[in-house]
Amino acid sequence: MADEREVASDGDGEEAAHDPEREARRLAALSLIRRYGDPVLKSRATPIDRFDEALRQQIARMGQIMDEANGVGLAAPQLGLSQRLLVYRVGPEAPLTVLVNPELEWSSDDEEPLDEGCLSIPGVTVPVERPVYVRVRALDESGERRLVEASGLEARVIQHEIDHLDGVLILDRTAKDERKQAMRALREAERDHAERAA
């Protein structure tokens, strides 16, 4: 998910548009990401049990695609891989965080709504209510256990990406009226896209 402009969406094209090379990389990265309607995005992903060089290469590739797409988080199913793996980076200077087989161990009763977008649903943002604090158990790229306690944007990104591992999208997490409106925007965006492509 999640960009800086909308705080919690995946992409911000406006800044990139000033730099044609960066914009080309952004579009190339986006073209690798599965879109709304792809069955892999509605499926529950499978736990990872091999912590080998192939996994580490895949993590590096996910980090690169996420960065080039101006995302703050990316889950493996978004690249068509049914694996319980996600990466995120909550600020330009922040390190890439990798969570393998993450389990949400605890979340706060304290919730807040915020507009979220998703690299798999470009052009759509909807308000999503989520717990402000979470504690997550996971493994890292070497299979070592890690515990992450997060709040605010980081907590939101983690929850958004874990949702992807369970086949849940932001449209499933928003109110009915918001979803209707978003679906309309999505159809319009697809029509515009088809017209431009024609």
User: Would you say 118 or 124 has its CB closer to Ni ion?
Assistant: 118
Nearest to 2 by CA among 126, 85, 102: 126
Give yes or no for residue 118 binding Ni ion (CB under 5 A): yes
Give the total of residues touching Ni ion (CB under 5 A).
2
Q: Is 161 a catalytic residue?
A: yes
Give the largest Cα separation in the chain, rounded: 50
By beta carbon distance, the residue nearest Ni ion is: 118
Tokens of 136: 């997550």
User: Would you say 45 or 118 has its CB closer to Ni ion?
Assistant: 118
Q: What does DSSP assign to residue 79?
A: G
User: Would you say 115 or 143 has its CB closer to Ni ion?
Assistant: 115
135-to-71, 73, 115, 158 alpha-carbon distances in Å: 22, 17, 22, 10
Q: Where are the alpha helices (DSSP H) in the chain?
A: 13-16, 20-31, 53-68, 152-165, 176-197
Give yes or no for residue 1 binding Ni ion (CB under 5 A): yes
CB of residue 52 vs Ni ion: minimum separation in angstroms? Answer: 27
Give yes or no for residue 99 binding Ni ion (CB under 5 A): no
- Catalytic choice (149, 161, 190, 195): 161
User: Would you say 52 or 61 has its CB closer to Ni ion?
Assistant: 61
CB atoms closer than 10 angstroms to residue 122: 20
CB of residue 120 vs Ni ion: minimum separation in angstroms? Answer: 5
Residues that bind Ni ion (CB under 5 A): 1, 118
Catalytic residue numbers read 161
